[in-house]
Structure 1
Amino acid sequence: MNPTAQPAPLHGGKLVLATIAVALATFMNVLDSSIANVAIPTIAGNLGVSVDEGTWVITLFAAANAISIPLTGWLTQRLGQIRLFVWSILLFVVSSWLCGIAPNLPVLLAARILQGAVAGPLIPMSQAILLASYPKEKSSTALALWAMTATVGPIAGPALGGWITDSYSWSWIFYINIPVGLFAAGVTWAIYRERETPVKRVPIDKIGLLSLIAWVASLQIMLDKGKDLDWFNSPVIVALGIFALVSFVFFLIWELTETNPVVDIKLFLQRNFLGGTVAISVAYAVFFSNLVLLPQWMQGYLGYRSVDAGLATAPLGIFAVILAPVMGKIMPRSDARVLATLAFFGFAAVFFMRSHYTTGVDTYTLVVPTLLQGIPTALFFVPLTAIILSGLPPARIPAAAGLSNFVRVFAGAVGTSLAATGWNDRTILHHSQLVEQASVHNPTFVGALGAIQDTLGGSSSQALAFFERSLTTQAAMLGLNDIFWLSAVIFIAIVPLVWLTKPGKGAGAGSAGAGGH
């Protein structure tokens, strides 16, 4: 944004319509990061590939998205905010259509890479456009509305994806973006085209961009294939790890010395940006990874259908939506650090509740922590986003929003890979510990096996197979409990990061859209 010629805030019906259009573009983007999760087995089956190959549908979207987000600042200068935002939406619509008509996996993956790449500017641009549309004293309301759509998307994704896949066809999880995107692009252009930001020809940092692609892509592939290839016992994983590290170090050195860097790393010299970005990224990594693992466990071990697993996670959005407008009211009168701290303690309490799950858990016991998790979810995004953007001049907000979102999205991908690996390792450990008791010399085990055989009326081999299935289910439950418990500890451990920041007046929210530093 041009700090010398800020357009006047919008008012009335125009502001409402503009907010809906910008929010829908955000929702469409974040929804697509999770909507395919529950559809992967169906997509893989229909395209004749393994589920492992099918997971590239999620991975490549995340990697392309993460790489393109930091380009937002440079693209804004070259194209202008509004033009960039509208073109991103329209290209997202085209790539969604290409995903839907894909006849095989390579075409689908190419379309997903395009979709992830063009989606990059949508989230940081939506933040910047909303902040410019509201009066400075209402900027916390703008952030609250943005956070509501950003948090509901990943929550609604599994439920919506499961329902569409079970009721229609997996292609429709991509086709639904077409009418939503066309509406958002049309309304945004109609309202904002007279409010375009100035453009200037800034050279692209080609070496910085290539090194960014190199380390993000190699690290993403390493994390996704690590479990299958037995991590650092595989020369492929070792090579990818070394390449990612060298590329990352080169990228840091280059960007710090480049005149027009593709990523403004010097933003991390700001205490609020550093503390806020690290806190929101670690928190989101734990939040999102558990959002992925929970439906997987419910489908794999509790016998839930994909749509039911999605619906069981959907109550997370109830309090997130109800409390979003409340957050807009209380933010200007509150210390953002207190609100973020309450959110982290709330998350810790929810995950501690989940760490006591058993294999006989009922739907009510599953849903209650998920419902309660909506409260810290509502308290989580807005204060930390306000802290991150506080004190920055308007001209730096697109770059700052882009960089903080890049770190957050990438942390989500890394966290999901680490959580999946951790769950797998802990399940194997618990399985081996439980099997130690399964000996013919243990009268309790022999008695239990006899009881199973009598109940099933089958052979001893059938009783053993039933026992093994029960053992595997129990080991997976204990492994997931460990992940839940560790998640609770991480949320408490990152609270001090929030208190390293220094919010300004109005909890930093009011200054997010204002000048000054």
Structure 2
Amino acid sequence: MPPAEARPSRPAVWLGFLAMCTGMFMAILDVQIVATSLPNIQQALGIPPDQMSWVQTAYLIAEVIAIPLTGVLMRILTMRWLFVIATTVFTLASLGCAASDSFGTLILWRVLQGFAGGTLIPAVFAAVFLLFPSRRQGIATTLAGVLAVLAPTVGPIVGGWITETWSWHWLFLINLAPGVVAVLLGAALLPRERMQPAAARSLDLVSLTLLVLSLTSLEIALKEAPAASWTSGPVLALLALAVSAGAGFVVRCLKAAPPVVELRSFADRRFAIGCLLSFVLGIGLFGSVYLMPVFLAFVRGHNALEIGTIMLVTGVAQLLTAPIAVAAEQRLGARLLTGFGFALFAAGLGFSALQTPATDHDGMFWPQVLRGVAIMFCLLPPTRLALGHLPEARVPDASGLFNLMRNLGGAIGLALIDTVIYSRSPGHAAALLERLRAQDAEAGRFIGIPAQMIAALPPGPLPPQAEAMLAPLLEKAALTLAINDAWLMIAVLTLAALACVPFAGGPKEAGTGKPSDRQPNGHLEPVPLSGPGRGEGQRSA
């Protein structure tokens, strides 16, 4: 334990934790607001169109590599200095992105930005269980969870407003002021612990290399597969490299002492099921935040600011539900709340699978409300289920793995969604055209063609002029049906995750008001992640 004078007071703990949440919010928001302005960045820097997506991919690859390394970095640097260093690097990298005058320079700064930002997410969720007693962990998890899922929701409107009002440089410059404030607060208020630089010398560099190879090749494969085909040579080679390097990483981590990442937490049933739920939630979260802008932009023709305004419904529902979720999480079992959350989230996803080309704000309102209400119940109970009962020494690594599963779920989910859209749209277009040739009035209404026009069409093949006139409507209708297929796919996957919830219970289930497994009295004092007497416990965990 750190000496008494080194322990911050309770208000200071909350303020320091809020600083950590601010850093995490910046890192998550950055991905979404940059996505809204990629065409502007491409035009300003003269980036080839086929290379534009690397502005996002470079960030995401670095982020997904950093997430599982958060535990070992926290042991070496301590929670306080990891947050301060990571937020400083993220802020400086944001300034570098804004000052970039070439594609290569921007990509370099994006990699640094992504790696620094990737450590902030699991560090925050680890801090929940390391800084607060069990009775306060629900509130802390809610604060972190609301910001984590709110950032992608408000991202489109923030990015759209910045793009419409200022220049693309401000997508990065807005990080400077909150970054500086978060660094100063974190340095002053987070627990002061002794760093362990000697632990860096024991890192298994082979394991580290295998981890980087596996996650990098997997991310690139998932990016390329929908357009290039999952069975293309390069994609299969990347997937093979990801699997073989990943297998080698797992074997070395299970044998190494200490491992780069503690994988033995997966032997804990509650943690493993929590990670599976996090993976599926990632598919739904990333998928819904992706599908809505695609539909609103390419079918409805809205700009970024209008899209962001429509998507605010989910964020408002999250904020309004958060106090209810905290109260319920402190009184009811985690399994019950998790089942309720995932069932409601699946319903919200499923209702979105009923869209037509005419669907807009009103038709998307209630599905968004359902998903917004459900998200907090999909996040809070599974987080406590996975992490709340683990020994403190294992929490940083476990938090990294838990959050990695959500990001991997999102990456794989987006690849599957793109595959569905690429593969299903042509078939839907052909089927709709055949129904038009058969003078199918229902197909005409779905596409948006007046009934009298359908009746006036000659039987058999349509005249070339008619096909040319109907082509834009037909394309949007086919895209709508393909997007509906994607909504249905992630709804079914979310619903299927409910099957594992009954097996996630333990002797003392988190969220029931019973004592934590970690402390007989259910109270967790702020504890050091390093320092005298901690090393052996970490190695044996």
TM over 0.5: yes
**Runs of 5+ in structure 1 lacking a partner?**
none
Q: Tell me how far 1:368 sits from its aligned partner.
A: 2.8
Counterparts of 1:377 and 1:6 in 2: how far apart (Å)?
39
Counterparts of 1:373 and 1:162 in 2: how far apart (Å)?
23
Counterparts of 1:448 and 1:354 in 2: how far apart (Å)?
25
DSSP 3-state at the match of 2:107? helix
Percentage of matched positions with identical amino acids: 28
Pairs aligned (count): 509
Per-residue CA deviations over 1:185-215 (Å, capped at 9, x if unaligned) read 10111112x5325536221121111111111
Question: Contact 2:93/2:109 (CA < 8 Å) preserved in 1?
Answer: yes
Partner of 1:376: 374
Q: Tell me how far 1:454 sits from its aligned partner.
A: 9.9
Counterparts of 2:341 and 2:363 in 1: how far apart (Å)?
21
Q: Tell me how far 1:162 sits from its aligned partner.
A: 1.4
Partner of 2:258: 260
Question: Contact 1:449/1:463 (CA < 8 Å) preserved in 2?
Answer: no
Partner of 1:210: 209
1:196 aligned residue (190, 193, 196): 193
Counterparts of 2:293 and 2:122 in 1: how far apart (Å)?
29
Q: Tell me how far 1:32 sits from its aligned partner.
A: 1.6
Partner of 1:288: 286
Partner of 2:501: 498
Question: Contact 1:86/1:188 (CA < 8 Å) preserved in 2?
Answer: yes
1:426 aligned residue (424, 427, 431): 424
Per-residue CA deviations over 1:412-451 (Å, capped at 9, x if unaligned) read 1121121111122121221222233465x87989998994
Partner of 1:120: 118
Query: Residue 253 and residue 228 in structure 1: after superposition, are their counterparts in 2 closer, same or farther (change >3 A)?
Result: same
Counterparts of 1:328 and 1:412 in 2: how far apart (Å)?
25
Counterparts of 2:325 and 2:270 in 1: how far apart (Å)?
20
- Greater displacement, 482-491 / 146-155: 482-491
Give the partner amino acid of 1:95: A
Query: Residue 197 and residue 135 in structure 1: after superposition, are their counterparts in 2 closer, same or farther (change >3 A)?
Result: farther
Give the partner amino acid of 1:395: A
2:97 aligned residue (92, 96, 99): 99
DSSP 3-state at the match of 1:157? helix
Counterparts of 1:508 and 1:199 in 2: how far apart (Å)?
37
Counterparts of 1:183 and 1:377 in 2: how far apart (Å)?
29
Partner of 1:78: 76
Query: Residue 422 and residue 7 in structure 1: after superposition, are their counterparts in 2 closer, same or farther (change >3 A)?
Result: farther
Counterparts of 1:316 and 1:510 in 2: how far apart (Å)?
32
DSSP 3-state at the match of 1:357? coil
Question: Contact 1:99/1:112 (CA < 8 Å) preserved in 2?
Answer: yes
Partner of 2:385: 387
Per-residue CA deviations over 1:367-403 (Å, capped at 9, x if unaligned) read 3321332100121111111001022111111111111
1:470 aligned residue (468, 473, 476): 473
Q: Tell me how far 1:364 sits from its aligned partner.
A: 1.2
Question: Contact 2:129/2:388 (CA < 8 Å) preserved in 1?
Answer: no
Partner of 2:145: 147
Counterparts of 2:516 and 2:275 in 1: how far apart (Å)?
14
Per-residue CA deviations over 1:220-264 (Å, capped at 9, x if unaligned) read 1111112332331x2222222222222122222222222222111
Question: Contact 2:352/2:367 (CA < 8 Å) preserved in 1?
Answer: yes
Per-residue CA deviations over 1:86-144 (Å, capped at 9, x if unaligned) read 10000000111111111122211111111111122211212233433333321111111
Counterparts of 1:514 and 1:93 in 2: how far apart (Å)?
36
DSSP 3-state at the match of 2:198? coil
Q: Tell me how far 1:19 sits from its aligned partner.
A: 3.5
Partner of 2:181: 183
Counterparts of 2:436 and 2:212 in 1: how far apart (Å)?
50
Q: Tell me how far 1:7 sits from its aligned partner.
A: 7.6
Partner of 2:487: 484
Give the partner amino acid of 2:470: F
Q: How does 1:241-280 map to 2 (within 5 A)?
A: 241-280=239-278
Counterparts of 1:248 and 1:161 in 2: how far apart (Å)?
36
Counterparts of 2:173 and 2:375 in 1: how far apart (Å)?
29
Partner of 1:507: 511
Question: Contact 1:9/1:132 (CA < 8 Å) preserved in 2?
Answer: no
Query: Residue 5 and residue 463 in structure 1: after superposition, are their counterparts in 2 closer, same or farther (change >3 A)?
Result: farther
DSSP 3-state at the match of 2:32? coil
Partner of 1:47: 45
Counterparts of 1:381 and 1:221 in 2: how far apart (Å)?
28
- Greater displacement, 443-452 / 69-78: 443-452
Counterparts of 1:510 and 1:53 in 2: how far apart (Å)?
53
Partner of 1:359: 357
Query: Residue 68 and residue 454 in structure 1: after superposition, are their counterparts in 2 closer, same or farther (change >3 A)?
Result: same
DSSP 3-state at the match of 1:80? helix
Query: Residue 362 and residue 229 in structure 1: after superposition, are their counterparts in 2 closer, same or farther (change >3 A)?
Result: closer
Q: Tell me how far 1:305 sits from its aligned partner.
A: 0.6
DSSP 3-state at the match of 2:287? helix
1:304 aligned residue (302, 305, 327): 302
Asked if 1:20 is matched to 2:24, the reply is no
Q: Tell me how far 1:20 sits from its aligned partner.
A: 2.6
Counterparts of 1:496 and 1:443 in 2: how far apart (Å)?
41
Query: Residue 7 and residue 186 in structure 1: after superposition, are their counterparts in 2 closer, same or farther (change >3 A)?
Result: closer
Per-residue CA deviations over 1:483-504 (Å, capped at 9, x if unaligned) read 1122222121101222221242
Counterparts of 2:3 and 2:418 in 1: how far apart (Å)?
49
Q: Tell me how far 1:335 sits from its aligned partner.
A: 0.4
DSSP 3-state at the match of 1:35? helix
> Aligned-pair RMSD on alpha carbons?
2.9
Question: Contact 1:320/1:377 (CA < 8 Å) preserved in 2?
Answer: yes
Counterparts of 1:460 and 1:314 in 2: how far apart (Å)?
44
Partner of 1:224: 223
Counterparts of 1:71 and 1:492 in 2: how far apart (Å)?
31
Query: Residue 392 and residue 449 in structure 1: after superposition, are their counterparts in 2 closer, same or farther (change >3 A)?
Result: closer
- Greater displacement, 309-318 / 29-38: 29-38
**Runs of 5+ in structure 2 lacking a partner?**
521-540
Counterparts of 1:79 and 1:16 in 2: how far apart (Å)?
21
Normalised by the size of structure 1, how large is the TM-score? 0.91
Query: Residue 386 and residue 479 in structure 1: after superposition, are their counterparts in 2 closer, same or farther (change >3 A)?
Result: same
